[in-house]
């Protein structure tokens, strides 16, 4: 782990919307001058719009040509020719299809720490993909140019699930990450990639908001090894106002992840004067401790003004540090601070002896003091995925 991966794609993830492409054209840039992953790969050319509409799963046919999407708690009832709230699932003549399958707009090799999954193969590279669309509408989204776009508004690769798995193998990535937007919206694609890659010893991880119904989540958990879930706040009011969703289904999804043995880490983006009330943070930490266990890693991440919240101000580091102190006092053992490079709370310390076991600086991983998944100092087992699974 930690070896340099010289893959096909560029060093920075650069999802391409029509607006960005036109901006590049206005500057006199050719396609060949655009970032690496927009150039042809394995004979595949980047295309505008969707490439392979495919049958969707988890939907119900209703009267008068309506269909109901059963994938996420929105339960969208969709007229013929219309789409669900996510923008990628469409009713065509009473049949529900997905426009996201095999249609990624962002493809990149990332450090696992970027997800952030601090207890999964530290220092390794993960083959990361996303399509356009999302079933949430967060005012603070950092990837809004693709999450709030439809597939016909972005430039996309025509890459099958098998092609993604092959690319992960060829670039020596031990994992595939479904990330950047809400991967639930490309559920069928994610599921097929996971099914194909698991026998090859490649693990699948996702960064999700956890806004999914129990039945499809139960199926996904059979093929997913780790999930980093955004617990965006701990009140229904915050979820309604800033995400357009609700909290209760997310809490239910977190419990299912835990029950099904998927390694789980949480991220709470702390937004000043929005979700940083110490009483709510304490309730959240107590819920995590009681329902998911005190060894569940929690990342308090710094907010920077983006998308519809550009006039807001960044999170003071002192607020993050107070949140971490509160979480530790509540009984959580692995509490991190994110988006603050070189903060000591990026590193991992054994919950038993307190010794440093994984040193981090930004996305860089230094010395790792683990032996067979246990603290090298005291022998205590550390929760996480520390080695690649054996071939099935």
pLDDT tens-digit series, residues 204-258: 999 999 999 999 999 999 999 999 999 999 999 999 999 999 999 999 999 999 9
What CATH class is the domain 106-127+157-375? alpha beta
* Residue 143 to residue 209: CA distance in whole angstroms: 14
Q: Where are the domains of the chain?
A: 54-98, 106-127+157-375
Average pLDDT over residues 27-46: 40
Tokens 């009681």 found at: 290
Q: What 8-state DSSP symbol labels residue 285?
A: H
* Residue 127 to residue 113: CA distance in whole angstroms: 13
- Closest by CA to 341, choosing from 360, 322, 323, is 360
Task: Say how many C-beta atoms besides its own lie within 10 A of residue 306's C-beta.
Answer: 15
* Residue 387 to residue 375: CA distance in whole angstroms: 14
Is pLDDT of 44 > 80? no
Task: Say how many C-beta atoms besides its own lie within 10 A of residue 162's C-beta.
Answer: 13
* Residue 119 to residue 3: CA distance in whole angstroms: 18
pLDDT level of residue 300 (50, 70, 90 thresholds): very high
Asked if 238 contacts 231 with a C-beta cutoff of 8 angstroms, the reply is no
What is the reported pTM? 0.89
């Amino acid at each position: 782990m930690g070896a340099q991966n010289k893959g096909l794609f560029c060093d920075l993830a650069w999802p391409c919307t029509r607006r960005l492409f036109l901006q590049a054209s206005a500057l006199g840039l050719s396609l060949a001058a655009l970032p690496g992953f927009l150039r042809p790969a394995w004979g595949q050319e980047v295309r505008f719009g969707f490439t392979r509409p495919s049958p969707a799963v988890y939907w119900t046919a209703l009267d008068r040509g309506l269909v109901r999407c059963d994938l996420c708690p929105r339960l969208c009832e969709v007229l013929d020719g219309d789409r669900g709230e996510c923008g990628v699932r469409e009713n065509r003549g009473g049949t529900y299809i997905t426009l996201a399958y095999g249609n990624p707009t962002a493809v990149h090799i990332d450090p696992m720490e970027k997800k952030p999954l601090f207890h999964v193969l530290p220092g390794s590279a993960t083959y990361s993909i996303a399509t356009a669309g999302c079933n949430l509408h967060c005012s603070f989204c950092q990837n809004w140019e693709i999450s709030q776009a439809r597939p016909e508004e972005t430039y996309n690769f025509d890459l099958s699930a098998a092609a993604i798995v092959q690319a992960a193998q060829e670039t020596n990535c031990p994992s595939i990450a479904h990330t950047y937007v809400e991967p639930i919206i490309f559920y069928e694609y994610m599921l097929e990639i996971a099914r194909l890659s698991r026998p090859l010893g490649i693990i699948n991880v996702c960064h999700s908001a956890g806004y999914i119904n129990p039945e499809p989540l139960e199926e996904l958990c059979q093929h997913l090894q780790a999930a980093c879930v955004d617990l965006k706040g701990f009140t229904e009011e915050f979820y309604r106002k800033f995400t357009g969703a609700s909290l209760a289904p997310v809490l239910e999804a977190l419990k299912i992840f835990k029950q099904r043995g998927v390694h789980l880490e949480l991220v709470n983006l702390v937004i000043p004067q929005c979700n940083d009330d110490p009483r709510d943070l304490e309730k959240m930490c107590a819920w995590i401790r009681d329902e998911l266990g005190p060894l569940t890693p929690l990342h308090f991440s710094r907010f920077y003004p983006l998308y519809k919240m550009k006039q807001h101000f960044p999170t003071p580091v002192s607020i993050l540090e107070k949140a971490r102190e509160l979480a530790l006092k509540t009984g959580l053992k692995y509490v991190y601070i994110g988006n603050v490079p070189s903060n000591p709370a990026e590193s991992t310390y054994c919950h038993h002896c307190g010794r440093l076991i994984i040193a981090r600086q930004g996305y860089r991983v230094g010395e790792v003091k683990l032996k067979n998944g246990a603290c090298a100092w005291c022998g205590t087992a550390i929760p996480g995925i520390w080695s690649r699974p054996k071939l099935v």
